[in-house]
Structure 1
């Protein structure tokens, strides 16, 4: 079973976390299942950038992003070459090291 290693984030996982993931599930779903409340304002429909992550290791194991995700990522705060939307990035068979950016462009939190 692949693992996702979340780097420390002051709000979402101050100590960092290592979670088990199921191949085919999204990084966001794996995080939520393990109590890491990554913000996601569009109900996982690839319509915002609040679930933006940076994949520090294992990026090549992910399926490439599609045009819609790329368009949304262009609006993300702190965009990097290894940026993905966690609601779209599906875990494959490799471990991932993920960083949750410090900021999002979301002005209203839905309280997820």
Structure 2
């Protein structure tokens, strides 16, 4: 099983954090397991938009975005072309490490 580094960058000015993810782990799981506060109102089942993040680097190592995920991203605050839901970003055979930009967590999403 291949391990991948995920570097979490924060829009609110916190210093970057890098953590190891095993293949099959979601970005949300890695964040929560390492004390990174990332909202997840639905419990990480692609039922809301609160775990919205931006994939800065390494998107090729993630599954393609589903129609359901895309619908929830449309409800997120400030969606961009590189927006994803952290619960749906499951590490798979990545050829490069991931960089994830975490938006401010002081709001409640859908």
TM-score range, shorter chain: 0.7 to 0.9
Question: Which stretches of structure 1, 4 residues or more, deviate above 2 A after TM superposition?
Answer: 8-11, 102-105
CA RMSD of aligned residues (A): 2.0
Question: Gapped runs of 5+ residues in structure 2?
Answer: none
1:1-112 matched pairs, under 5 angstroms: 1-10=3-12, 14-94=14-94, 95-102=97-104, 106=108
Equivalences, count: 106
- Identify, as 1 or 2, the structure richer in strand: 2
Residue 104 of structure 1 deviates from its aligned partner by: 7.1
User: What TM-score comes out, normalization by structure 1 length?
Assistant: 0.85
User: What TM-score comes out, normalization by structure 2 length?
Assistant: 0.86
Change (3 A) 1:10 1:104: closer
